[in-house]
Structure 1
Amino acid sequence: MSAPRSTKVDVHGWVILDKPVGMTSTQGVAVVKRVFNAKKAGHAGTLDPLASGLLPIALGEATKTVPYVMDGRKVYRFTVQWGVETTTDDTEGTPVATSELRPSRAAVEALLPRYTGVISQVPPQFSAIKINGERAYDLARDGEAVALEAREIEIHRLVLVEATADTTVFEAECGKGTYVRALARDLGRDLGCHGHVVALRRTVVGAFDEQDAVTPDELRAMKEGGEGLLPIEDALLPVETALESLPSVTVSRHDAGRLARGQSVILRGRDAPIFDGTAAIMAGGTLVALADFERGELVPKRIFHLGGPE
């Protein structure tokens, strides 16, 4: 007779998983959900199995803030091996072009300004983009020719970190929708030597960086309560951590109640905030809502149930 399953509980907050190479993003979510016995979980931005690094995982009410993390800046450190371009633009694919040429450090650095700012990028054939309802990587695996249209992306910073004769390590800070694998492919083509990604690590996502990260093994050890380890709750960041880029407005308990009922709140007087757009609304130190502030009025758009003031 199998043991009864434990009852799932309401857990709210963010866990910044340091995902190892080989683990899928879905598996990462499952690990965190299991450790916390949480009812609800999701991640903010898929990380390929071949990549390591930050995978922000939202639990409970934090899932309502996922778009603000996904739209935030991302920083990647990646290694490009020159001389070979592959079908997948990484080590999983088969070679499609080779070259004996190897670029000098000066040649690589001279090219980087062309890849900074708003640029046009064709996503990799093996990507999750949908074509007529089908994922591009499914079509590519079936041997179909995949023609993806170029799209505008923004790269805020791209620097050369270190280089050897055959490889170059880069760090890129970029916006939503950027494919690092495609960046390596295009750099290799422009340098005339071809290239593909052999190592990729995400170090920043939105408001989260490596100081916030915890590995799956560390999470499991904290859950078991090993001697000298922090309690598992210390790995859980507050829901509002994801909203660092938004203005914060504190309201009274009465106004928090109105917002929770879907009613607007008028802010007047010298203490009224001066901005237009979305704000994180706090009451008694607890996040209660996301609201749009227009002409002195807060209009609720997302309500949070975190056990705050009534």
Structure 2
Amino acid sequence: MKNGILKVNKPSGPTSHDVVNRVRKLASIKRVGHAGTLDPFARGLLLVGIGKGTRLLEYLLHQRKTYDVVMRLGVITDTFDKEGKVIEEHDVRASEEEIQEVMKSFIGEYDQVPPMYSSKKYKGVRLYELARQGKVINMPPKRVKIHSLRILRINFPDVHFIVEVSEGTYIRALCRDIGMKLGCGAIDQELERTSIGPFSLENAVDVYDVEEIDESKILSLEEVAEKFFPKVVVSKNAVERILNGQKAKVSDLISFETFEKGELVMVIDESGRLLSISMSERKSSFISTLKSQKRDEAILHPKKVFN
């Protein structure tokens, strides 16, 4: 099976871990993981790493995410979504103009308290596991960012909107906080993730609708890495050394894109094969100076190798 990243269109129902197990079965490979959990009731884009693709997942976790959301006003559940137990119901007295004003006030950074029913850990234990035991943990708020929020329509008691958020933002908690500010409560009624960083839901695979994975649907290691890192091409003489974790020197470089000191770069051979994700020890603009002074210094320190 090809190594890389599979864009999965997760249906409502399965957990993200269920999706990973499904891909393991279809691909006949154990080394499978995902970047960014989706709640069971939620649907949409889940990035799944296959084989060596799992080594790129950490770089996908910190990307902005976009969601298509239906928020229901006037209801509060213990999970802040439609799956939870209803604990309060209230009349919605806010006008459309007030709803729009309040929702737009969340654009920017704010401190968000993670929902108790979440996969976030407290002393090594998932919060949802503690919640099921009846233990309530007051987690400290986390600074998150709402990059954009666009209301599509308001059809009381539901509000349909598109939101782009920073990594670590809980949409259930955003609905909770909007509902609190409106004074009526709110829950996440429907949720679809439509993008993660540069990856969209377009052409994503429903792994529950196929009996085998079409390898052409798997994004190669190189396709994924080039979306995040400057590219450096090294000579064939350097390949084995880099795959063994050794640094690339000035004389090893054939061509390179601009990079800064301390920046991660993707190192490829002359055929375009990904060899490593490396940390630069010099900025690219200094390489010409090193060459003119005949200083064959180490330039790139491998952080991950793909042998």
User: Which TM-score band (shorter chain)?
Assistant: 0.7 to 0.9
- C-alpha RMSD over aligned residues: 1.9
Q: 2:268 aligns with which of 267, 282, 288?
A: 282
SS at match of 1:281: strand
Flag structure 1 segments of 5+ consecutive residues without an equivalent.
1-9, 224-230, 306-310
Tell me what 1:68 maps to: 59
Give aligned-pair identity as a percent: 32
8 Å contact kept, 2:232–2:267: yes
Structure 1 residues 192 and 132, CA gap change in structure 2 (3 angstroms): same
1:43 aligns with 2:30: no
Residue 32 (1) aligns with residue 23 (2): yes
**Residues matched between the structures, number:** 287
- 1:16 pairs with 2:16: no
- Does residue 119 in structure 1 map to residue 110 in structure 2? yes
Aligned residue for 2:278, secondary structure, equals strand
Mapping of 1:1-310 within 5 angstroms? Answer: 11-220=2-211, 223=212, 232-243=214-225, 244-267=227-250, 273-276=257-260, 277-283=263-269, 284-295=271-282, 296=287, 297-305=299-307
Q: Secondary structure at 1:216's aligned position in 2?
A: coil
CA contact 2:63–2:166 (8 Å) conserved in 1: yes
Q: How far, CA to CA, are the matches of 1:75 and 1:219 in structure 2?
A: 26
Q: CA deviation at 1:20?
A: 0.5
TM-score w.r.t. length of structure 1: 0.87
CA contact (8 A) 1:69 1:207 kept: no
CA distance in 2, matches of 1:153, 1:176: 8
Mapped to 2, the partners of 1:15 and 1:158 lie a distance apart of 28
Give the letter for the 1:262 counterpart.
Answer: G
Moved more, 64-73 or 143-152: 143-152
CA separation in 1, counterparts of 2:3 and 2:170?
31
Seen in structure 2, the aligned counterparts of structure 1 residues 272 and 80 have a Cα distance that, compared at 3 Å, is: closer
Q: Deviations over 1:65-92 (max 9, x none)?
A: 0011111111111110111111100012
Gaps of 5+ in 2: 288-298
Aligned equivalents of 1:282 and 1:218: distance in 2?
A: 35
Q: Shift of residue 108 of structure 1? A: 2.1
Distance 1:19 1:235, change over 3 A: same
- Return the TM-score normalized by structure 2: 0.88
- Alignment-mate amino acid for residue 267 of structure 2: I
Residues 74-119 of structure 1: per-residue CA shift (max 9 Å, x gap): 1111110111111100012122332112433321221234312221
- Cα distance, 1:290 vs. partner? 0.3
